[in-house]
Amino acid sequence: MEPLDYDPSKSAVLTPEKSLRPLYKAGDEGWTTEALCAELCRLAYLRFESDSGPAGGELLTHAIGMAGLSDFETLDDSRCDAQAFVARRDGTAYIVYRGTQGDRWKDLLADFLFFPRNWEGPGWVHWGFWRAESALWPQVQDWLSKCRPGEVVVTGHSLGAAMATVTAARLPEARLVTFGSPRVGTRAFAAAFSADRVRRYVDCCDGVARVPPPWGFVHLPGERYIDRRGHVAADPPGLLARLRDRTLGHLDYLKKCSLRKGNVFTRALADHAPINYISGALGVRRGP
């Protein structure tokens, strides 16, 4: 696969759907299941809901076809403004949740309702994340009952990663692949996940992966840390190594990217861009 340039632009972070072109087609070499999940999470930002016009839905349908997936359906709940899509390939079902869109106040509300609440499973969960996921859960159940897949992979980026985590807690046999996920639940909630069924990607300086504050909320196991040069660490680094990598990453970004027109000011935002998770998961990042 050809290198992918690190993208520090505002559009890559805030409106990834506006300049999106599909990257993957069935048969492309070098694409692991986790890299495919990163691409599906980016595609989930395409606005397919009825009030957004046909363009996003048409491009999403085209991209899903290119990727060789079938049984494709979009899921939408206008009350919570929550979206996802589902599709299947070779007996594996993919449930893909959309992340936060900055111009959607209900997305922002879901992010900021970070009060822990009791729920149907173990531990306590972030109220806003649970509320958004619960709005789509009946549709997910209906599709799974029709599809009857051999394996289920649940994935998402940002808010979508948090929603995917709640769904995976409901489906203990499912695999979970997340990108830039915030903390979702308490220690008892996280303890229900074994590390071997979780791949939780964290891109170096990504600030979203460090919220909400760890006052009762904890991360799941299964971390895959992407360092400042875009390489996935064999093992998650310790605290000092992580601080060093992030500090050097911030300094490098300040010199090369911060003051350029059209870029976000801080790497804490730029590292959250879906495209930068794809280049990291593939190991083909060039820059910054």
The pLDDT tens digits of the residues spanning 74-118 come to: 999 999 999 999 999 999 999 999 999 878 777 777 888 888 999
- The domains of the chain are located at 4-286
Q: How far, in Å, CA of 177 to CA of 160, rounded?
A: 11
pLDDT at residue 53 greater than cutoff 70: no
Q: How far, in Å, CA of 242 to CA of 117, rounded?
A: 31
pLDDT for 116 equals: 92
Q: How far, in Å, CA of 145 to CA of 129, rounded?
A: 24
pLDDT at residue 2 greater than cutoff 90: no
* Nearest C-alpha neighbor of 10 from the set 85, 103, 83: 103
pLDDT for 51 equals: 59
User: Whole-model pTM?
Assistant: 0.95
What are the pLDDT digits (tens) for 115-169? 899 999 999 999 999 999 999 999 999 999 998 889 999 999 999 999 999 999 9
Using omega within 30 degrees of 0 as the cis cutoff, is the peptide bond preceding 213 cis? no
Q: How confident is the model at residue 50 (pLDDT cuts 50, 70, 90)?
A: low
Q: Calculate the CA 134 to chain-centre distance.
A: 18
Class of domain 4-286 (CATH, top level): alpha beta
Tokens found for residue 190? 């996280």
